[in-house]
Structure 1
Amino acid sequence: MNPVTIDAIDDPRIGDFRVVSDPALMRERGLFVAEGSLAVERLLASRFRTRALLVTESALARLKPAIDASVESSLAGAPSDAAAPSDAAAPSVVSAPAPDLYVTGSAELRRITGFRFHRGCLALGERPPDGSTPGGLPPPRAGAPVVTLDAVADPDNVGAIFRNAAAFGAAGVLLSPRCADPLYRKAIRTSMATTLSLPFQVAATDDWPGPLERLRDDRARLIALTPAPGAADLGSVTRSSSGGPLVLIAGNEGDGVSQAVLERCDATVRIPLDPAVDSLNVATAVAIVLQRFHEATGHQDTLPG
């Protein structure tokens, strides 16, 4: 892949990069943007196709191994994400063209994009028509739950939950139609780009909460997080856990998990809190619950020394 030098910010070849700060236009064009070396590397190694890169010379030097690996994988007709779960449905993959590679200066990059968060490199990914990870969402399995978000509309919370889910071995994330877009640049950044590596599914508006019913039909246990007094204590639930497949469900901080979803759950759990505090940030709550189930299923990492 030969880099093309961009000297003029109105060069038509980089027209898509001039609208990266407009989420509506990006969706209309079927694109999303990854910013910074970590996010760009994870995009290149993911099942999402990279359309183009816009980088400085110094960023190009840092990214060269990841770019070379992505090009080699594309030519071979296989996704470069070697960490995909072995029991996930394998997508049909054909040889894809290598992404366009454009090189420009730091000042030009800021003028092209209109923001300063790029850290010398941006990449455009192609958004699948259904907004979900190519290849689909793997089912939950022992020690690897599916985290489900019900109308969590804040992109910072969505990004943080993805990061927590990846940290504690979740199989993937299921999002209701009213959730924030996990491919929005703010969610990607907050997640440390785990939205590009952890499989997820965005449910269709006319099918929610159908995916939860199908997971339950496949013998997964559905557990909703709620501060409601009638919910079971988290400790008692994790101690009695059979280690089978779980779906852990969190709602938004205003309304919590919707009644339609609660009616389909096998249990509700709460995190014991000081009486002076009525609830936790949803990303924090998900992290605590994931860690407790992670530990209960035998992942008891110890500190060195």
Structure 2
Amino acid sequence: MRITRITDLDHPALADYRRLTDVALRRVTEPEGGLYIAESSKVIERALRAGHVPRSVLMTDRWLADIEPLVADLEGEIFIGDAALLETLTGYHLHRGALAAMHRPALPELADVLAGARRVVVLEDIVDHTNVGAIFRAVAGLGADAVLVTPRCADPLYRRSVRVSMGTVLQVPWTRLPDWPEGGELLRAAGFEVAALALSDDAVPLDAYAADPPERVALLLGTEGDGLSRAALRSSDVVVTIPMLHGVDSLNVAAASAVALWALRVPAATVEGR
């Protein structure tokens, strides 16, 4: 990569980094433009390790020694500028030091993601990027195999999702799932029981369900506030709930995912021997 020191914001390649705080704009342009933004040297390193290719990198001087060895053999451009100029460009202070405009990899086929998997998480229409990133981190840390997202779910490769996940969205297999009822039919055809995490009079307590879980479970999580849609609940095989105390009816969806994944975890020895 060649190094370019910027003193103004006229370079055409800098358009990738403009108006990063406008969520609605990024949600449209990132998927269609085939790019996502990786933030921080750790996330950039994970993206490169996953085989993702940067178009360019943007940073202040102090991060050059960390980033340049990671991308030295790749094509593209490293843009270096002072902190005030980069803040004007991006709309916020680059306290994590570096951004990379990464080419978005093609999503894998659903069958390939599900092959050999025993625990997958399905995100229905979760629109908060922070929650999406936190769920990916729980999936990676607690040993689930993949994440599936419905058509209206927030983009896992949005900058905030990647950052909150600590880059695990770049290592956890994921792809899009068709809407209901097709999505549920595809999961059952692949051998999964669809377990909806929701409040219901006939819900099975999580500890009871986890005592004798099916071999393959697709854990279905709903959007903040409204929870799972009626179509999603109709497409599920069982409703599971986390018993709560002190008048609290539910947890934040990311926290709930971690609790459920811990309860339904596959023994480590089984995972390592798979």
Indicate whether 1:29 and 2:33 are aligned.
Answer: yes
Of 156, 160, 164, 1:182 maps to 156
Aligned alpha-carbon RMSD (Å): 2.4
Q: Relative to 1, partners in 2 of residues 1:134 and 1:101: Cα closer, same or farther, differing over 3 Å?
A: farther
Matched residue, 1:213:
185
Q: What is the percent sequence identity of the aligned residues?
A: 38
Q: Relative to 1, partners in 2 of residues 1:14 and 1:177: Cα closer, same or farther, differing over 3 Å?
A: same
Q: Deviations over 1:240-267 (max 9, x none)?
A: 124x122111112322222222222222
Matched residue, 2:77:
100
Matched residue, 2:131:
157
Distance in 1 between residues matched to 2:175 and 2:31, nearest whole Å? 17
Q: Relative to 1, partners in 2 of residues 1:265 and 1:26: Cα closer, same or farther, differing over 3 Å?
A: closer
The number of aligned residues is: 264
Distance in 2 between residues matched to 1:152 and 1:13, nearest whole Å? 32
Where 1:138 maps in the other structure, the secondary structure is helix
Matched residue, 1:138:
113
Relative to total residues, which structure has the larger helix share, 1 or 2? 2
Is the deviation greater in 209-218 or in 158-167? 209-218
- Could you tell me how far 1:19 is from its partner in structure 2? 3.9
Q: Deviations over 1:105-137 (max 9, x none)?
A: 223222221211452211012235xxx645766
Indicate whether 1:236 and 2:208 are aligned.
Answer: yes
Q: How does 1:97-136 map to 2 (within 5 A)?
A: 98-127=75-104, 133-134=107-108
- TM-score, normalising length from structure 2? 0.86
Contact 1:150 1:178 in 2 (8 A): yes
Where 1:269 maps in the other structure, the secondary structure is strand
Structure 1: segments with no counterpart, 5+ residues: 72-96, 301-305
Matched residue, 1:83:
none
Where 2:248 maps in the other structure, the secondary structure is coil
Q: Deviations over 1:24-60 (max 9, x none)?
A: 4444533221222222222222243322111223212
Q: How does 1:1-305 map to 2 (within 5 A)?
A: 1-22=1-22, 23=26, 24-68=28-72, 71=73, 98-127=75-104, 133-134=107-108, 138-139=113-114, 141=116, 144-204=118-178, 207-242=179-214, 244-294=215-265, 297-299=266-268
Q: Deviations over 1:86-112 (max 9, x none)?
A: xxxxxxxxxxx6333222222322222
Matched residue, 1:84:
none
Is the deviation greater in 36-45 or in 132-141? 132-141
Where 1:153 maps in the other structure, the secondary structure is coil
- TM-score, normalising length from structure 1? 0.78
Contact 1:140 1:146 in 2 (8 A): no
Contact 1:168 1:291 in 2 (8 A): yes
Contact 1:152 1:179 in 2 (8 A): yes
Distance in 2 between residues matched to 1:14 and 1:254, nearest whole Å? 37
Q: Relative to 1, partners in 2 of residues 1:16 and 1:216: Cα closer, same or farther, differing over 3 Å?
A: same
Structure 2: segments with no counterpart, 5+ residues: 270-274
Q: Give 2:71's aligned amino acid.
A: I
Contact 2:83 2:93 in 1 (8 A): no
